[in-house]
Amino acid sequence: MTGRRAVQPSQARQLPKRTSMDFPVVALGASAGGLDAFKKFFDALPANSGMAFVLIQHLDPTHESLMVDLLAGHTPMKVLQATDRMQVTRDHVYLIPPGAYLAISDGILRLSKPLERHGARMPFDFFLRSLAEECGERAICAILSGTGTDGSLGLKAVKEKGGLVIVQDPEEAAFDGMPRSAILGGGADLVLVAAKMPQALVRYARQTYVKVDLANVRPSDTVQEAFAGIIDLLAAKTPHDFSLYKQGTLQRRIARRMAMAGIENGAQYLQVLREASGERELLAKDLLINVTHFFRDPAAFDLLGEKIIPELVQRQTLDRPLRVWVPGCSTGEEAYSITMLFLEQIAAAKRNIKLHRNGIYPESIEADVVPTRLARFFTKGEHSYQVVRELREALVFTNQSLLADAPFSRLDLISCRNLLIYLDPEAQRKILSLFHFALHTDGVLFLGSSETVGNVSDRFEPISKKHRIYRHIGRSRPGEVEFPRGTKVAGRVLANNPTQQATSRRLGFGELSQRALLDAYAPASVLINTKHEGLYHFGVVDRYLRVVSGEGTRNVLAMARDGLRAKMRSAIQRAKQDRARVTVTGAQLERNERSVGVSITVLPVAGDSEELFLVSFVDDPTPLSSRVTSGESEVDASR
């Protein structure tokens, strides 16, 4: 394919700064094998697409780049090496120069020098974050051949702002590291060979979702007409009820999925959802917006680590566990970030603590985690980092709906960041009320940078308004906490039925009493089936069970801590045979460098369609060896 002669930077006209981008900007990222992928892409791209293209290629900083000349023959568009303050224009291709970072702001390209050492540079992540902020729904990310994980973090920013993420099929890529990392992270909207990407881009760019500014324009009538049907269908056919989410946000996300499917009519898309379970799951995933990274909003986390967490640790008595709840934690980066801060402070306070869990992240987290924490809390793998065992053991991850499931209680800290902004005001009020119930007096609430406690300011006082950190004050008044009923249907009826709402409040008193009694007196327990799979747990079961490394398992015998497995197996077998409650004693485990006796009780429970067993653990009142001094007592930070 022939094209125009390559244009050198000196020939490019420097244009005045612009204030908005009214066309899509496509960022293509690659390292090893990238040139071949770029050629395939541009050979298949039709002329006059109306889009701009920015290529972020890993280049040797000590040599001049030949990419401009090498690509000029594969596209009729002007191919330019980017310079500082160069304006981005439709139907142009811009190439990152060697040894530089590139960003986009107010329609112009900005060059800067990398701060990281050579081996840790992530220029594609750097550019994608600025592209997401600049272009929103018109930001498009394409990850092509390359080693490493560059792009895996930046694509999350594109997704969060409603943009499109396309990944080259790893089977075609000369080097599959970058494509596979993006796919494994769950961020890919489309996985295509390079020659098929332009067709998908052109179809996407033609959709109303991309052509208009959805922040200032009402969604199309067809989307609004189908909206209620789509939300009802998702509630009926998936585990997710979005009825209390902000309609504007949901409608923009629905429009995004319609654009990807090439559908303009809402009724037609609703029919597709009825027929295609895969599209229903993809839409639900899009509506949940699972975007996060380590130490998001660093200044807020600095305040948390320097002031808030030290106070929580210092005032904690050694006989009570520190309990932290991180609802809506997505892939876990926020939960791990907070746990690092706690472990650092506990170590500084010389508390004796033993903690257990599993997490692998791309090497691009180096941009978010300082080297001292990378060294202490992670082990380096090939293009990845794995959380160390001490940090994994401090966390328990579980699926929970804030709007449908009962809250935790007696908590020291709740971190719920960038979740409330997607919910309507009534849902926000209910959740903040639950948070107030769940926290200890003087407990801490940590919200996102765009969130506040709203009209419940008499229940939370600001520690830092700037960073959205609040302290629990006052007491919950009788009847003001509406506890979730556990079903999506009940939650939706309550919002419109005063009689059932009053009934719910009466039931709320009962649930409140039951939870208080269970928290205070019930032993740590786990409900299992005949396959020994844990179905539900209550209390501090992590004292007796642990999350094993490697592939996930729910088998409680595999999770039993050393010294308990044989006694637990015997008790379960006897309860199965006798169909009666069985208690065995004499089990022993090591805790805080002393031997602890444990009694295990197994109670048969009649399930709806299967036989279940409730397994409970109780420490013997007298330790098997002499007690250690109070200063050596264990601090349980499993939450």
pLDDT, residue 175, reads: 94
The domain limits of the chain are 9-206, 214-288, 298-472, 488-520, 522-632
pLDDT, residue 481, reads: 61
User: Do the domains spanning 214-288 and 522-632 agree at the CATH topology level?
Assistant: no
Q: Which two tokens stand for residue 151?
A: 């792009």
Q: Residue 199: which of 166, 223, 245, 159 has the closest Cα?
A: 166
Residues 89-115 as b/e (b if ≥16 CB within 10 A, e otherwise) read bebbbbbbbbbbbbbbeebbbbbeeee
Which CATH number applies to 298-472: 3.20.20.80, 3.40.50.1820, 3.40.50.150, 3.40.50.2300?
3.40.50.150
Helix (H, G, I), strand (E, B) or coil at 584: strand
pLDDT, residue 33, reads: 92
pLDDT, residue 84, reads: 94
Q: Would you name the residues annotated as active-site residues? A: 31, 58, 150
**Per-residue pLDDT reduced to its tens digit, 464-493:** 989 899 999 877 655 556 666 543 333 333
Backbone angles phi, psi at 544, to 5 degrees: -120, -25
What is the reported pTM?
0.58
Question: Hey, what CATH topology would domain 9-206 get?
Answer: Rossmann fold (3.40.50)
Query: What's domain 522-632's architecture?
Result: 2-Layer Sandwich (3.30)
Helix (H, G, I), strand (E, B) or coil at 616: strand
pLDDT, residue 37, reads: 95
pLDDT, residue 489, reads: 31
The answer to whether the CB of 631 falls within 8 A of the CB of 317 is no
> Which helix (H) or strand (E) segment is 52 a member of?
strand 52-57
- Dihedral of alpha carbons 345, 475, 484, 235, sign: negative
Q: State the DSSP string of 130-179.
A: HHHHHHGGGEEEEE-S-SS-TTTTHHHHHHHTT-EEEEE-TTTSSS-HHH
Residues of the chain short of pLDDT 50, as ranges, are: 1-19, 118-119, 217, 351-358, 486-507, 549-552, 623-639
Q: Strands across the sheet with 469-472, in order?
A: 324-325, 411-416, 439-447, 469-472, 460-464
CATH class of 214-288: mainly alpha
Q: Which two tokens stand for residue 165?
A: 């993420």
The answer to whether the CB of 86 falls within 8 A of the CB of 14 is yes
Distance, in Å, from the CA atom of 453 to the CA atom of 425, rounded to the nearest integer, reads 11
**Per-residue pLDDT reduced to its tens digit, 27-69:** 999 999 999 999 999 999 988 899 999 999 988 877 778 889 9
Q: State the DSSP string of 318-363.
A: TTS---EE-TT-TTSHHHHHHHHHHHHHHHHTT---------EEEG
